[in-house]
Amino acid sequence: MNQPPDRWWRAAGGREFFDLLTDAVVVLDDQARVVVANTAALRLLPCEAGLPIDQLRQPLGAPAIDWLKRAVAG
């Protein structure tokens, strides 16, 4: 991908759309870093853009983080 990972989000009106959802949505990049998080996710987790997923180990738990890292790796 040649564009910044959050560019599609801004260009497509992603924030406005995902912020309407009541479920938490967190998008990760291929390095397991938070690219974007909607308002519902930000209410639950300290998941600002750029945060490595490992920083969410305490609130999510080690099994969830390990699963997410495997999913990102393919």
Q: What is the pLDDT of residues 1-31, one digit of tens each?
A: 455 656 666 666 777 888 889 999 998 999 9
61 inside domain: yes
Structure tokens at 72: 């990102």
pLDDT at residue 1, as a whole number:
46
Instruction: Decide if 1 is inside a domain.
Output: no
Among 33, 19, 17, which Cα is nearest to 68's?
A: 33
The residue segments making up the domain with residue 15 are 7-73
Q: Does this model's pTM top 0.85?
A: no
Q: Does residue 21 sit within a domain?
A: yes
2 part of a folded domain: no
The set of long-range contacts for 20-25, using a CB threshold of 8 Å and a minimum separation of 24, is none
Separation CA 11–CA 23 (nearest Å): 22
Would residue 27 count as lying in a domain? yes
pLDDT score recorded for residue 4: 60
Domain presence at residue 38: yes
Say if CB 39 and CB 23 are below 8 A apart.
Answer: no
Residue 19: the pLDDT is: 86
- 25-49 pLDDT per residue, tens: 998 999 999 988 999 999 999 998 8
For the chain, what is the domain count?
Answer: 1
Instruction: Kindly state whether residue 33 falls inside one of the protein's structural domains.
Output: yes
